């Protein structure tokens, strides 16, 4: 994947620069005051020139200038024809799921975020939309489930929390060849557009929980979705406008501010994550991280992404031991979510994935002792010292004399 962004997106038609330059450069040509920062248009409605209306904006549910600037910027960095900002990552997936009708089918991974699994379960019960859960680390595993009923093929890569990798180009080719009406959808939250751009790899829709890396500070909730097809974009916008889930102007402004530092944050976070991975592997822990040469899909991930990201998980072999480690950490806050500038630690089966029934977690080989680390921008030596102390206090490592 080239680091220079592809053909122009949305209204951007000037020279393309490398990502770290593009992400901090926000186009704002229409501002009569030439503000260096896009203003917050904190207005629910807009005055019209005549009785027939017809202005570019009339009601902020349908569109707001601050959100428009954000969406144009997101389209640019995602390589999308159009992008949309909504109230959360799960809202983004819900908007996409509205394209599916009763009797249609979804093919999805068997290692999914707990909230995604919850929504798919709801669709099965309320709308007769069946989901086939398959091992997406094997591209051919989707083939038996592709049919005229297939509407969405939903991928996470890397997956959360086992950090498994799906071959986006190969799966996209299978789907488009066998089911032309089906859409390949990729949850790209873990990588962000800085490290991976699924739309360039063959996906039809890419979406994010912007609460995480795009915003970066855990001070707002937002979701982002983008597509390279104008017809699909119109369908998505119709749902967003009809349901009123577009992101509000203040949160749009916060997200536009936060995303400018995406490249520098991610560089620091994944640098720290590589050190944490090497530390854990040196003590013999089974670590799940695409930046490790021990990861079974290390080479595949390198072909699709420009970096390994900053989320990893590891196994201790003992649930009680994992609980002691998590509770002994001091710098690593016990919290769900990831992508924040601060480092977080959790046990997914007790927290972010607790909504998945225990028997289903067992079927999908989720280790109940799994610890997930979401690495922040702190000094890595402090993070290593704190993690080592927690491991020692929990009894996972011998105490240092």
pLDDT in tens, the chain (401 residues): 545 433 334 444 467 899 999 999 987 777 888 888 899 999 999 999 899 888 889 999 999 999 999 999 999 999 999 999 999 999 999 999 999 999 999 999 998 888 899 999 999 999 999 999 999 999 999 999 999 999 999 999 999 889 999 999 999 999 999 999 999 999 999 999 999 999 999 999 999 999 999 999 999 999 999 999 999 999 999 999 999 999 999 999 999 999 999 999 999 999 999 999 999 999 999 999 999 999 999 999 999 999 999 999 999 999 999 999 999 999 999 998 899 999 999 998 776 556 666 666 666 577 899 999 999 999 999 999 999 999 999 999 988 76
Element containing residue 278 per DSSP (H, E): helix 262-282
Closest CA to 167 of 132, 192, 193, 142: 142
CATH match of 262-394 with 3.90.1150.10: yes
Q: Which of 212, 228, 265, 361 is catalytic?
A: 212
Q: Which of 41, 113, 207, 213 is catalytic?
A: 113
- pTM score, two decimals? 0.93
Closest CA to 246 of 40, 23, 67: 67
Active site residue 174: no
Q: Which of 27, 58, 59, 61 is catalytic?
A: 61
CB 245 within 8 A of CB 91: yes
Please tell me what DSSP assigns to residue 45. B
Q: Which of 94, 187, 204, 251 is catalytic?
A: 187
Closest CA to 305 of 148, 196, 384: 196
CB 167 within 8 A of CB 198: no
Other residues' Cβ atoms within 10 Å of the Cβ of residue 46:
16
Bridge pairing between strands 344-346 and 311-315: unpaired
Active site residue 61: yes
Assigned architecture for domain 19-259 = 3-Layer(aba) Sandwich (3.40)
**Domain residue spans of the chain:** 19-259, 262-394
Which tokens is 383 given? 């993070």
What pLDDT, on a 0 to 100 scale, did the predictor assign at position 352? 58
Active site residue 212: yes
Distances (CA, A) of 355 to 47, 79, 117, 327, 350: 46, 34, 8, 22, 9
């Amino acid at each position: 994947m080239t680091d220079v962004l592809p053909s122009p997106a949305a209204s951007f038609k000037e020279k393309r620069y490398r990502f770290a330059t593009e992400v901090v450069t926000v186009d704002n040509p229409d501002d009569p005051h030439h503000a260096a920062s896009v203003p917050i248009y904190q207005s629910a409605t807009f005055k019209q020139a005549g009785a027939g209306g017809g202005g570019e904006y009339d009601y902020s549910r349908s569109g707001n200038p601050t959100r428009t600037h954000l969406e144009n910027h997101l389209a640019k960095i995602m390589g999308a024809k159009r992008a949309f900002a909504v109230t959360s990552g799960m809202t983004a997936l819900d908007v996409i799921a509205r394209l599916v009708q009763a009797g249609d089918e979804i093919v999805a991974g068997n290692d999914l975020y707990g909230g995604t699994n919850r929504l798919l379960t709801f669709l099965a019960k309320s709308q007769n939309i069946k989901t086939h859960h398959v091992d997406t680390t094997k591209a051919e595993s989707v083939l038996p489930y592709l049919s005229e009923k297939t509407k969405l093929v939903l991928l996470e890569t890397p997956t959360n929390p086992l950090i498994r990798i799906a071959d986006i180009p190969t799966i996209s080719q299978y789907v488009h060849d066998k089911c032309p009406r089906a859409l390949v959808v990729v949850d790209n939250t873990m990588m962000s557009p800085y490290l991976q751009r699924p739309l360039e790899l063959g996906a039809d829709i890419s979406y994010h929980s912007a609460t995480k890396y795009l915003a970066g500070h855990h001070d707002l909730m937002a979701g982002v979705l983008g597509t390279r097809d104008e017809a699909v974009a119109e369908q998505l916008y119709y749902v967003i406008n009809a349901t009123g889930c577009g992101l509000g102007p203040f949160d749009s402004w916060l997200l536009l501010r936060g995303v400018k530092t995406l490249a520098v944050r991610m560089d620091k976070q994944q640098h720290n994550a590589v050190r944490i991975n090497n530390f854990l592997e040196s003590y013999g822990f089974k670590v799940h991280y695409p930046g490790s040469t021990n990861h079974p899909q290390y080479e595949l991930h390198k072909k699709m992404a420009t970096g390994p990201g900053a989320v990893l998980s590891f196994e201790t072999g003992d649930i009680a031991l994992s609980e002691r480690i998590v509770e002994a950490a001091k710098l690593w806050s016990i919290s769900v979510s990831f992508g924040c500038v601060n480092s977080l630690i959790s046990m997914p089966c007790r927290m972010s994935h607790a909504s998945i029934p225990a028997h289903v977690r067992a079927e999908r080989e989720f280790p109940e002792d799994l610890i997930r680390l979401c690495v922040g921008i702190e000094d890595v030596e402090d993070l290593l010292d704190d993690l080592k102390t927690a491991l020692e206090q929990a009894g996972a490592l011998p105490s240092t004399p």
